Amino acid sequence: MDVHQREVEKLLAGDQGFITTLYQEVFPSIVRLIRSNSGNDEEAKDLFQDALMATYKKARDERFVLTCSLKSFIYAVSRNIWLYRLRDKRKRKDETDIIPEDTVSDVDIEKLMDDYEKVKLYKKHFKKLTEDCKQVLKLHFEGNAMDDIAIHMGYGSKEYAKKKKFKCKEKLIQSIKADPVYHELMGGSTKTY
Amino acid sequence: MSNQDQYHEKIEAYLDGELKGAELEAFENELQKDENLRQEVNLHQDIKSAALDKDLDLFQEKVNQVIQTESSKAQTTPDNSRKLWLRMAASISLLGVIALLIYQFSDNSSSKGSELAMQFFEPYDNIISERGSGSQKLEQALFAYDRKEYSIAITLFNEVDAEAFPITFFYTGLSHLAIGESGKAIDQLKKAETTNPENLTPAIHWYLALAYLSQENHSAGRQLLDGLVLQQTSYGAQAQKLLEHIK
């Protein structure tokens, strides 16, 4: 196993000492980047967290191979996410000032970012559901039968449990689709069913 | 039922494996032709994956904890212009600490309870996960507990329905004790004492004693330790040893 892959293993293990080292070594560069591009330190913290999360999510894929140091990779991911957010805020004046072209890895950072932003969006709206809805959907997603869900939730019948699951999911999907980030991620090409 | 509802129902039925025969075939044909429908089905599947992705939540907790710890460290790091004044203040404080130590030694009143508690503290084994607790949240919390990531464990234990799984009180108390939050540890361990999950009374009393000692409440600690010795529990020998240290 090469040195880059060992770093990935530590990240996947959630080694807090290693995460601290990454913070100490990468975060100051992110702060510099953000401060000089319309951002503040709080945004830099969010960005560092998102970059790490996106990388962690991608690194779980067995096909993920890192050809640069993890530090460089996380910095590159941070930079790309920031660019994406600047575009969102219509703050960006000249993209090329911010991102000089360099290749840090063979990984498609844009796809990695999109995948993570989607998960983040879905989780955000899932958390907004009522406790009842969250529980019903979780039990359903875990593969429990409607009979069992009805018993667990204290509903009178499996038909009611099914109806509840349907309504909760519908509400979740509507809430996701009403979020402008969803349309950004889908490239603005969504038809409403 | 609206057209939109019917469409959703069809997708749900497809994903739940309820479509059969001609109905299934028709839906799959439509799926091949209709890009928007494919996108919709993918959305349903992605939502499910996201909701079940506990590892990502756990990782986020860890990253948050690092960011908070490192940020608070950075906030307490003085800038150069203030260093001289802070050094002087530190020197004065050091003199104060030395004076206090001299006073304490001459007074001969022991305040070693918290140190002793830390010396004697060993986390109780996770006796739950191997046989299964019946609660996914509890399992996750115990996973963090096993890894000695006590702050994360506490956050996760707080999400468990402790009334339904009273063992949660015990391990939450231990996690607080491990990070020096003896007051919170006492609260949780008292709840554990009331519910007495798994017949853990001796263990609960042992850790309660350590928590009281951490607060320099020697009389409460000693009372529990005496009980452990007198009742000849498995903690008797350790309790006796600790009592000798307190004397």
pLDDT tens digits, B197-214: 777 888 999 999 999 998
Confidence of residue B87 (pLDDT cuts 50, 70, 90): low
Mean pLDDT for all residues in chain B: 82
Q: Which residues of B touch A24 (CB under 8 A)?
A: 70
Q: Residue A99, CB half-sphere, CA atoms under 13 Å: how many?
A: 19
Nearest-angstrom CA–CA distance, A39 and A46: 11
Share of chain B above pLDDT 70, in %: 82
Nearest-angstrom CA–CA distance, B53 and A53: 12
Lowest mean pLDDT among A146-155, B19-28, B187-196, B225-234: B225-234
pLDDT 10s digits, B222-233: 888 888 887 778
Partner-chain residue, chosen from A27, A186, A193, that has the shortest CB–CB distance to B7: A193
Lowest mean pLDDT among B52-61, B95-104, B112-121, B218-227: B95-104
Nearest-angstrom CA–CA distance, A176 and A137: 15
Per-residue pLDDT of chain A (193 residues; tens, 9 = 90+): 678 888 999 999 999 999 999 999 999 999 998 888 888 999 999 999 999 999 999 999 888 888 888 998 899 899 888 887 777 655 444 444 444 444 455 567 778 888 999 999 999 999 999 999 999 999 999 999 999 999 999 998 999 999 999 999 999 999 999 998 898 888 755 444 5
Both tokens of residue A71? 């530090």
Nearest-angstrom CA–CA distance, A4 and A64: 11
Query: How much is the pLDDT for A99?
Result: 45
Q: Which is nearest to B206 in space by CA: B157, B151, B192?
A: B192
* Geometric angle at alpha carbon B30, from B49 and B32, rounded to 5°: 70
Nearest-angstrom CA–CA distance, A122 and A172: 9
Q: Which is nearest to A170 in space by CA: B23, B2, B35?
A: B2
Answer yes or no: do B47 and A172 touch at CB < 8 A.
yes
Lowest mean pLDDT among A88-97, B12-21, B85-94: A88-97
**pLDDT for residue B38 is more than 50:** yes
Instruction: State which of B42-46, B117-121, B243-247 shows the largest mean pLDDT.
Output: B42-46
Answer yes or no: do A190 and B39 touch at CB < 8 A.
yes
Query: How much is the pLDDT for A188?
Result: 55
Q: Is A64 on the interface with B (CB under 8 A)?
A: no
ipTM: 0.85
Handedness of CA B72, B73, B76, B79 (dihedral sign): negative
Distance separating the N- and C-terminal Cα atoms of chain B: 78
Lowest mean pLDDT among A95-99, A118-122, B143-147, B183-187: A95-99
- The alpha carbon of residue A19 is apart from the nearest alpha carbon of chain B, in Å, by 7
Q: Which residues, including other chains, have CB under 8 Å from residue B113's CB and lie 6 or more apart?
A: B212, B213, B214, B215, B216, B217, B218, B221, B246
Would you tell me how many other CB atoms lie within 10 Å of the CB of residue A117? 18
Nearest-angstrom CA–CA distance, B179 and B10: 52
Q: What single-letter amino acid sits at A155?
A: Y
Confidence of residue B1 (pLDDT cuts 50, 70, 90): low
Give me the residues of B, 3-42, that contact A with CB < 8 A: 4-5, 7-9, 11-12, 36-37, 39-40
Answer yes or no: do B63 and A53 touch at CB < 8 A.
yes
Q: Which residues of B touch A27 (CB under 8 A)?
A: 70
Both tokens of residue B172? 């939450």
Answer yes or no: do B67 and A141 touch at CB < 8 A.
no
Confidence of residue B147 (pLDDT cuts 50, 70, 90): confident
Minimal Cα distance from B39: which residue of A?
A190
Answer yes or no: do B47 and A60 touch at CB < 8 A.
no
Both tokens of residue B60? 């986020």
Both tokens of residue B21? 């025969």
Q: Which residues, including other chains, have CB under 8 Å from residue B147's CB and lie 6 or more apart?
A: none
Query: Looking at beta carbons, which pairs linking A157-165 to residues 24 or more positions away fall under 8 Å?
Result: A161/A136, A164/A132, A164/A133, A164/A136, A165/A136, A165/A137, A165/A140
* Geometric angle at alpha carbon A34, from A182 and A181, rounded to 5°: 5
Farthest CA pair distance, chain A: 62
Q: Which residues, including other chains, have CB under 8 Å from residue B195's CB and lie 6 or more apart?
A: B166, B169
